[in-house]
Amino acid sequence: MNSIDKLSEIFARFPGIGPRQAKRFVYFLLSRNGDYSGELVKAVQDLKKEIIQCSECMRYYAKNGYDSKLCSICADDTRDNSMLMIVPRDIDFEAVERSGSYKGYYFILGGVVPILEKEPEKRIRIKDLEFRIQEGKKKGLKEIILAMNANLDGENTAEFIKQKYHGSTLTFSTLGRGLSTGAELEYADPETLKNAFLHRTK
Amino acid sequence: MNSIDKLSEIFARFPGIGPRQAKRFVYFLLSRNGDYSGELVKAVQDLKKEIIQCSECMRYYAKNGYDSKLCSICADDTRDNSMLMIVPRDIDFEAVERSGSYKGYYFILGGVVPILEKEPEKRIRIKDLEFRIQEGKKKGLKEIILAMNANLDGENTAEFIKQKYHGSTLTFSTLGRGLSTGAELEYADPETLKNAFLHRTK
Amino acid sequence: MNSIDKLSEIFARFPGIGPRQAKRFVYFLLSRNGDYSGELVKAVQDLKKEIIQCSECMRYYAKNGYDSKLCSICADDTRDNSMLMIVPRDIDFEAVERSGSYKGYYFILGGVVPILEKEPEKRIRIKDLEFRIQEGKKKGLKEIILAMNANLDGENTAEFIKQKYHGSTLTFSTLGRGLSTGAELEYADPETLKNAFLHRTK
Amino acid sequence: MNSIDKLSEIFARFPGIGPRQAKRFVYFLLSRNGDYSGELVKAVQDLKKEIIQCSECMRYYAKNGYDSKLCSICADDTRDNSMLMIVPRDIDFEAVERSGSYKGYYFILGGVVPILEKEPEKRIRIKDLEFRIQEGKKKGLKEIILAMNANLDGENTAEFIKQKYHGSTLTFSTLGRGLSTGAELEYADPETLKNAFLHRTK
């Protein structure tokens, strides 16, 4: 296989990229001068060098010179110790943090548990979570917010974690369901309407 | 204008129909035998004859021979008298009723109040609502649920009605906001995430 | 079934309309005043009264008072007698005529012949076509243009007609294949590229 | 800027990729083990080492050990010397070659000339084309096929090249326009219908 095909194949494994777009990426790189490819190579190499995983929340963050095993959020002791929000992936953490509505800590689960999955522990960071919760409890952790996507896998993952901690003194909550911004009654599904009614705001 | 163009023009005023699809409708009618057009004509004429507006909730319903000024829901005295849900249109009422989650009464507002609208009373059935609320109070009405679409016009309409009844002893609630079924954190807007967090279920 | 459901069902048979949009049409009619429904009823009734089928090209046209069995195009003897374009439906005729590129006569086939269809004569106006071609030959008809959609059914229909007239002295042509306006080489299928190359313009 | 943001920014310059998908690419790389990033780095580096530009058609191809300044097509002397097809980009060449309909040589123009562009020579390889045409003429080149996308920029580019060679003994052709595979008469634009009629196949 020549290197056009080889690189196309690698790009085609990127999320959401098919073989045709992968090839466009390769020709795009070829048509740019050498500096651009060099820049890409350097950025990928730097990524592996500079980005480490936070030992508490497991998210990826840039070391940035300062010597810490904790990301900026886990290192920030002004946040609310009583709450830990579990999200599937780094990009979900980013969305929640950007919304500015939550001031507690996070834990990145690393994935979800699909229905009928026989080995959930291979899909998610269940041991790291165990450890994080033990440590959290020492500092006043009271509520675990299971912030999952509103689909079957998300619900199954939340259920899996809740059962794991059945009998615990912690409160487990899930994100509120209802009308998303822009939703219209006419097109809303019965489940969403039911939740919108049950969780109405007075 | 010939009758192909005339009928196209009428169909083109139907919600969501452009001139091209309107014309397809006309040719569709032409290519069907006479009975089909006759059936359409009869159904439209029957609609005007058989369908009347409920004097309480203002929705359209079929008389069906029985002599009543009330639709089947307003005539059903087993429903919950303490709640009245205000929806913009008949089709919104249908969506909520189909979800099976609500057992109170309804009022069809007949539209929404867009922002900066100078004559809101021309857009919505504000006098009929006034009357319905007065009557409702005699029978134990306590809560008005403002069930609007989750957009600016919906919010403005809810706000308009709330202000109209400022100081009233009634409780005014709005539908819960949060993640709709299928929503993903990554693509959710900040407002939706904020609501999903605030209205989390424990 | 009440008349809301009855009329919804009729609208749901319109091309491209599902049950939900059909219902919106009904509520749209209900929310308009009586004149609008009356207008619709009148336009449908007029359609059946005023629109007749041209006895030569079989397309629907408005009588418009003048007493003729021919539509304005078949009645126009300044058009080119040597060419007859066969199109599947009235709406295809409209598209071609609007393009202003063709000055011969038309014949509306009334449909297409799907592959493996056992009774093609039930799908298309094959006898009317036979008659139209006989008459055309007396007036100098030389070329039949089979103007079909560029898909399997269209190709099969063209093939069916060609075979029917196998051995005829008439020339049978099909519409040129190539790049449609806006087409990009990268996304064009091999067949289209082949035709675009073979029929290149010098 | 940390290396997550830096790499996101580089990916966001890829064709068709927005900032959000660019970030997903970065997290995808982070969540894969080190080998995957290494593979990507190696493939990009190999691309620059192994891929060279053909000195005749200007397309990118893999050296593959053998010592030639020509790609496999330009080196193949069984192809038709009388025809040269000019395409905007490598990926357009691939589409045409895959269609199997053309047996002449190619030239990759490297871009298009947008309307009102003041410095066309900065957009396309006009000098390399000049040289290629001179060489071609010595070997019997007779026809230049301007294989451009069927849009304004494509037409302008073809026009620009034709005018450049005004008075030349070469024939300049453009790809045939008409119905693309799957096109329907009803939705075809007037220009396409006109071309489909003019270039009908007898």
Question: Does residue D7 sit within a domain?
Answer: yes
Q: What is the CA radius of gyration of chain D?
A: 21
Per CB-CB distance under 8 Å, the chain B contacts of A176 are 176-179, 195-201
Q: For B134-156, what is the mean pLDDT?
A: 96
- Give, as one character, the DSSP assignment of residue C83: E
Tell me, what's the pLDDT at A65?
A: 61
Q: Which of D17, D47, D109 to mutate to test the interface with A (most CBs of A within 10 A)?
A: D47
CA distances from A180 to B133, B156, B177, C11, D150 (A): 29, 17, 6, 31, 41
Per CB-CB distance under 8 Å, the chain C contacts of D80 are none
- Residue in chain B lying closest to A162 (CA): B202
Q: Which of D3, D37, D90 to mutate to test the interface with A (most CBs of A within 10 A)?
A: D3
Q: Note whether B98 and B198 are same-domain residues.
A: yes
Distance from C-alpha of C159 to C-alpha of C154, rounded to nearest angstrom? 9
> Phi and psi of A105, rounded to 5°?
-100, 170
- Residue in chain B lying closest to C53 (CA): B30
Report B:57-76 residues touching A (Cβ under 8 A): none
Q: Does C33 touch chain B (CB under 8 A)?
A: no
Check: CB of residue D92 under 8 Å from CB of residue C185: yes
- Residue in chain A lying closest to D109 (CA): A31
- Residue in chain B lying closest to C11 (CA): B40
Question: Does residue D68 sit within a domain?
Answer: no
Tell me the ipTM for this assembly: 0.86
Contact pairs from chain A to chain D, CB under 8 Å: 119
Nearest to C3 among B23, B25, B51 (CB): B51
pLDDT in tens, C159-176: 999 999 999 999 999 999
- Residue in chain A lying closest to B143 (CA): A202
**A60–D27: do the CB atoms touch at under 8 Å?**
yes
In chain C, % helix, strand, coil (3-state, to 5) comes to 45, 15, 40
Structure-block tokens of residue C10: 């009729």
Check: CB of residue C197 under 8 Å from CB of residue D178: no
- Residue in chain B lying closest to C92 (CA): B24
Decide if pLDDT at A1 tops 80.
Answer: no
Q: Note whether D101 and D153 are same-domain residues.
A: yes
Q: Which residues contact C11 (CB under 8 A, 6 or more apart)?
A: C17, C21, C22, C25, C26
pLDDT band at residue C48 using 50, 70 and 90 as cut-offs: confident
**A47–D7: do the CB atoms touch at under 8 Å?**
yes
CA distances from B40 to C17, C20, C26 (A): 15, 18, 12
Q: For B161-175, what is the mean pLDDT?
A: 94
Q: Concatenated DSSP letters for C58-79?
A: --EEE-TTS--SS-TTTT-TTS
Nearest to A190 among B99, B145, B190 (CB): B99
> CB atoms < 10 A from the CB of B5, how many?
15
Q: Does B173 touch chain A (CB under 8 A)?
A: yes
Closest CA to D8 of B184, A149, A46: A46
Q: Note whether A86 and A167 are same-domain residues.
A: yes
Report the length, in residues, of chain D. Answer: 202
Max CA-CA distance within chain A? 65
Distance from C-alpha of D163 to C-alpha of D56, rounded to nearest angstrom? 22
Q: Note whether B99 and B193 are same-domain residues.
A: yes
Question: Does residue A67 sit within a domain?
Answer: no
pLDDT in tens, D100-129: 999 999 999 999 999 988 998 889 999 999
Ramachandran class of D89: left when φ > 0, alpha when ψ lies in -120 to 50, beta otherwise: beta
> CB atoms < 10 A from the CB of C94, how many?
17
Torsion angle of alpha carbons B182, B184, B187, B191, nearest 10°?
90
Distance from C-alpha of A65 to C-alpha of D133, rounded to nearest angstrom? 57
Question: Does residue D187 sit within a domain?
Answer: no
Nearest CA distance, A108 vs chain D (angstrom): 12
Decide if pLDDT at B34 tops 70.
Answer: no
Distance from C-alpha of A178 to C-alpha of A199, rounded to nearest angstrom? 7
Structure-block tokens of residue B70: 């009330």
Report D:137-156 residues touching C (Cβ under 8 A): 143, 145, 147-151
Distance from C-alpha of D114 to C-alpha of D122, rounded to nearest angstrom? 11
**A7–D47: do the CB atoms touch at under 8 Å?**
yes
Check: CB of residue A66 under 8 Å from CB of residue A44: no
Amino acid at B8: S
- Give, as one character, the DSSP assignment of residue B187: G
Q: Concatenated DSSP letters for B148-176?
A: --SSHHHHHHHHHHHHHTTT-SSEEEEPP
Tell me, what's the pLDDT at A43?
A: 93
Nearest to B43 among C6, C61, C62 (CB): C6
pLDDT in tens, C59-108: 999 886 666 789 999 999 999 999 999 999 999 999 999 999 999 999 99
Helical pair A34-50 and D34-50, crossing angle rounded to 10 deg? 170
Question: Does residue A190 sit within a domain?
Answer: no
Q: For B141-162, what is the mean pLDDT?
A: 96
Q: Does A31 touch chain D (CB under 8 A)?
A: yes
Nearest to C175 among D149, D174, D179 (CB): D179
Mean pLDDT of chain D: 92
Strand-pair category, D143-146 with D104-108: unpaired
Contact pairs from chain C to chain D, CB under 8 Å: 186
**D202–C172: do the CB atoms touch at under 8 Å?**
yes
Q: Does B161 touch chain A (CB under 8 A)?
A: no
Nearest CA distance, A152 vs chain B (angstrom): 8
Nearest to A188 among B95, B102, B184 (CB): B95
D19-22 contact pairs (CB < 8 A, 24+): D20/B186, D21/A15, D21/A16
Check: CB of residue C55 under 8 Å from CB of residue C69: yes
Tell me, what's the pLDDT at C1?
A: 77
Question: Does residue A192 sit within a domain?
Answer: no
The CATH number that applies at residue D158 is: 3.40.1360.10
**Residue D122: domain span:** 80-174
Q: Note whether D88 and D167 are same-domain residues.
A: yes
Q: Does C1 touch chain B (CB under 8 A)?
A: no
The fraction of chain D above a pLDDT of 90, given in percent, is 78
Tell me, what's the pLDDT at D103?
A: 96
> CB atoms < 10 A from the CB of A100, how many?
10
- Sign of CA pseudo-dihedral D28, A12, D123, C184: negative
Check: CB of residue D140 under 8 Å from CB of residue D82: yes
Distance from C-alpha of D113 to C-alpha of C121, rounded to nearest angstrom? 52
Q: Note whether C124 and C36 are same-domain residues.
A: no
Per CB-CB distance under 8 Å, the chain D contacts of C103 are none
Report the length, in residues, of chain A. Answer: 202
**C62–B37: do the CB atoms touch at under 8 Å?**
no
Question: Which residue in the block uniquely carries the two structure tokens 């990729």?
Answer: D17
pLDDT band at residue B69 using 50, 70 and 90 as cut-offs: confident
Tell me, what's the pLDDT at B201?
A: 87
Nearest CA distance, B3 vs chain C (angstrom): 5
> Which domain-ending residue is among C12, C27, C52?
C52
Mean pLDDT of chain B: 92
Q: Note whether A45 and A103 are same-domain residues.
A: no
Q: For C38-47, what is the mean pLDDT?
A: 92
Distance from C-alpha of A193 to C-alpha of B168, rounded to nearest angstrom? 27
**A94–D28: do the CB atoms touch at under 8 Å?**
no
Structure-block tokens of residue B107: 């009022």
Structure-block tokens of residue C32: 């308009």
Nearest CA distance, D37 vs chain A (angstrom): 7
Distance from C-alpha of D179 to C-alpha of C151, rounded to nearest angstrom? 10
Helical pair A19-31 and A34-50, crossing angle rounded to 10 deg? 110
Domain count, chain B: 2
The CATH number that applies at residue C37 is: 1.10.8.420
- Give, as one character, the DSSP assignment of residue C186: G
Q: What global pTM score does this model have?
A: 0.77
Distance from C-alpha of A71 to C-alpha of A89, rounded to nearest angstrom? 15
Q: Output D50 or A132, whichever has higher pLDDT.
A: A132
> Phi and psi of C129, rounded to 5°?
-65, -45
Q: Note whether B144 and B181 are same-domain residues.
A: yes
Question: Does residue A193 sit within a domain?
Answer: no
Tell me, what's the pLDDT at B36?
A: 86
**Beta bridge partners of residue C172, listed in sequence order:** C144
Chain centroid offset of residue A197 CA:
29
Nearest to B47 among C7, C46, C94 (CB): C7
**D3–A29: do the CB atoms touch at under 8 Å?**
no
Per CB-CB distance under 8 Å, the chain A contacts of D89 are 27, 31
Q: Note whether A45 and A125 are same-domain residues.
A: no
Question: Does residue A99 sit within a domain?
Answer: yes
Decide if pLDDT at B108 tops 70.
Answer: yes
* End-to-end alpha carbon distance in chain D: 64
- For chain D, the three-class secondary structure string (H helix, E strand, C coil) is CCHHHHHHHHHCCCCCCCHHHHHHHHHHHHHCCHHHHHHHHHHHHHHHHHEEECCCCCCEEECCCCCCCCCCCCCCCCCEEEEEEEECCHHHHHHHHHHCCCCEEEEECCCCCCCCCCCHHHCCCHHHHHHHHHHHHHCCCCEEEECCCCCHHHHHHHHHHHHHCCCCCCEEEECCECECCCCCHHHCCHHHHHHHHHCCEC
Q: Note whether C27 and C114 are same-domain residues.
A: no
Distance from C-alpha of A47 to C-alpha of A50, rounded to nearest angstrom? 5
Nearest CA distance, A81 vs chain B (angstrom): 16
Structure-block tokens of residue B8: 């196209």
Check: CB of residue A156 under 8 Å from CB of residue B152: no
Q: Note whether C12 and C95 are same-domain residues.
A: no
Per CB-CB distance under 8 Å, the chain B contacts of C48 are 34, 37
Q: Note whether B156 and B114 are same-domain residues.
A: yes
Q: Which of A102, A197, A198, A202 to mutate to test the interface with B (most CBs of B within 10 A)?
A: A197
Nearest CA distance, B192 vs chain C (angstrom): 27
**A25–D14: do the CB atoms touch at under 8 Å?**
yes
Decide if pLDDT at D66 tops 70.
Answer: no
Strand-pair category, D60-62 with D80-87: unpaired
CA distances from B137 to A157, C5, C32 (A): 46, 34, 31
Burial class (CB in 10 A: 0-12, 13-18, 19+), C195: buried
Q: Is A101 helix (H, G, I), strand (E, B) or coil?
A: coil
A62-66 contact pairs (CB < 8 A, 24+): A62/D2, A62/D3, A62/D4, A64/D2
**C37–B43: do the CB atoms touch at under 8 Å?**
no
Report A:90-129 residues touching D (Cβ under 8 A): 90-91, 94, 110
Closest CA to A90 of C86, C103, B186: B186
